[in-house]
Amino acid sequence: MQNKDLFLALEELEKDKKITKELLIEAIESGLVSAYKKQYGESRGVTVKLNPNTFAYRVIAYREVVDEVVNPDKEISLADLQAECAEKGVAFNYKLGDVINEDITPKDFSRIAAQTAKQVIIQKLTEAKRNIVMDEMSEKEGEIMTAIVRRVEAGNVYVEMTQSQMEGVLMQSDQIQGERYNVNDSIRVYVKKVRTTAKGAQVVVSRSSTGFVRRLFEIEVPEIKNGLVAIKGIVREAGYRTKIAVYTEDENIDAVGACIGAKGARVNAIVSELGGEKIDVIEWCADPLEYIARALSPAKVMMVQVNDDEKSARVIVPDDKLSLAIGKEGQNARLSAKLTGWKIDVKPYSVVAAEQGEGSEDE
C-alpha cells in the first residue's frame, strides 16, 4: 500500500518538531500495528514496515520456529510447521530459530482503526518530543536560563522554561529569602537537574544555590570565563551575603579588581540580580593565616592564631570592628569559616590584651 503524501509529511514534521524521520516512522509503524489488531482482532505477532524509497508499507505477521512453544501467538513448533506446510502443499525448508513472515497487508483501514492509529502515533510523537526536550534540558544542567512564573502553590514557584516550554519548579529552599514572585514575572534561574514526575518531565531550578552565583560571575567577568581568574570557593546565605574567593597566577591581573569591575559595574550587576545581596570578593591565599584574615572582610584583622591539629583559628580584631567581623547573628564569621574550612573564634583586642596582662601578673 502506497502513500507518498505520508512520507512528505514526515519530512515536514522532522523539520518542525526536530524529531528524526526514523522516530516518526517508528511511531507510524506502531500506530498501524495497533490499527490492524483493532480492526481484525489479530492475536499473532504483527509488525509493520514502511519503505521511504517506494512510499509503501506492509503489514507482516510473524512466528518464530521453536522446539517448545511458550507463546502460540508468536511461536510455532518445528513439527507443527512441517504439518502446516504439508497441508498447504508448500516445501518445508525451515530450522529452529527461523522467523516465518506472512504478508497480511489490508486494502484499507476502518475509521475506528484509523483513529486508533492516530492516537498511538500522537502518543509516540509526544513521548519522543518529551525525551528530546529532556535530553536538551539535561545538557543545560549547571546553566542559567530565563523562565516565566506561571503559578505559586504552597510556597513553591512553578515556571515555564522559555527555551523549551518545560515546567520548572523553584522550591522554597531554592528561593532567595525575601524575594516575591508574581505570575508572568520573567526571572533568571539556575538549572539544578531534570527529573521525571507522574505529570511528566520537570526541571528543578534554583536562585539560592552557590552555582547560581558562580555562573553569574562567569557571565559578568570575562577573565573567569576564559580561565585567567579561578573561583576557589563560594559560600552563601541567599538574600543576605555571599563570599567568593578568587585567584589568578597572572601577575598582570588583579583577580579581585576584575570581579568588581570599573566603579563596581560587574559586581553591582550581580548584586542587582540577587536583589541587593551583599557580596564580598576575596583574594584566595594558600597561607591559612592570611586567607582567614581576608575571609573576614570587610573587617580588618590584627592577628590570626591557628591550631593546626584542631584546624581552628583565633582572630583578633580592634574592639570597634568586633561587630563587623562577627556580623549580624554571627553571619560574617560563620561564612568565613565555611569558606576557609577553619573554625574561627573572633576576639576583641582588649580581651586578648587583658588575658595577656593577667598572665604576666601571675608570673
pLDDT tens-digit series, residues 238-269: 999 999 999 999 999 999 999 999 999 999 99
- Residue 240 in any domain: the answer is yes
Q: Kindly report the pTM of this predicted structure.
A: 0.70
Tens of pLDDT, residue by residue over 116-137, are 777 777 777 777 777 777 777 7
Residues 269 and 323 in one domain: no
Q: What is the mean pLDDT of residues 154-163?
A: 91
Residues 81 and 118 in one domain: yes
Residues 84 and 127 in one domain: yes
Residues 241 and 347 in one domain: no
Which residue type is seen at 27? Answer: A
How high is the pLDDT of residue 229?
Answer: 97
User: Is residue 144's pLDDT more than 90?
Assistant: yes
Last residue of a domain, one of 250, 265, 284: 284
How high is the pLDDT of residue 103?
Answer: 82
Which CATH number characterizes residue 130's domain? 3.30.1480.10
Q: How many domains does the chain have?
A: 4
User: Which residue range forms the structural domain that includes residue 192?
Assistant: 147-201
Residues 219 and 330 in one domain: no
Residues 9 and 126 in one domain: yes
User: Is residue 7's pLDDT more than 70?
Assistant: no
Q: What is the mean pLDDT of the chain?
A: 87
User: Is residue 2's pLDDT more than 50?
Assistant: no
Last residue of a domain, one of 284, 314, 329: 284
Residues 217 and 164 in one domain: no
How high is the pLDDT of residue 119?
Answer: 79
- Residue 141 in any domain: the answer is no
- Residue 237 in any domain: the answer is yes
Where does the pLDDT of residue 348 fall: very low under 50, low under 70, confident under 90, or very high at 90 and above? Answer: very high
How high is the pLDDT of residue 137?
Answer: 77
- Residue 191 in any domain: the answer is yes
Which CATH number characterizes residue 270's domain? 3.30.300.20
How high is the pLDDT of residue 86?
Answer: 87
How high is the pLDDT of residue 1?
Answer: 42
Residues 90 and 17 in one domain: yes
- Residue 289 in any domain: the answer is no
- Residue 81 in any domain: the answer is yes
How high is the pLDDT of residue 127?
Answer: 77
Last residue of a domain, one of 256, 284, 312: 284
- Residue 33 in any domain: the answer is yes
According to DSSP, the β-strands at 45-51 and 56-66 are: antiparallel
Tens of pLDDT, residue by residue over 188-247, are 999 999 887 777 678 999 999 999 999 999 999 999 999 999 999 999 999 999 999 999
Tens of pLDDT, residue by residue over 32-56, are 788 777 777 777 788 888 777 766 7
Distance, CA of 279 to CA of 271 (rounded, Å): 7
Residues 228 and 188 in one domain: no
- Residue 75 in any domain: the answer is yes
Which CATH number characterizes residue 178's domain? 2.40.50
Q: What is the mean pLDDT of residues 77-96?
A: 86
Residues 218 and 251 in one domain: yes
Q: What is the mean pLDDT of residues 83-111?
A: 83
Residues 70 and 130 in one domain: yes
Where does the pLDDT of residue 18 fall: very low under 50, low under 70, confident under 90, or very high at 90 and above? Answer: low
Low-confidence winner among 10-14, 75-79, 181-185 (lowest mean pLDDT): 10-14
User: Which string of b and e fits 171-187 if b means at least 16 CB within 10 Å?
Assistant: eeebbbeebebeeeeeb
Between residues 157 and 119, the one the model is more confident about = 157
Residues 260 and 307 in one domain: no
Tens of pLDDT, residue by residue over 272-298, are 999 999 999 999 999 999 999 999 999
Between residues 259 and 114, the one the model is more confident about = 259
Distance, CA of 188 to CA of 195 (rounded, Å): 19
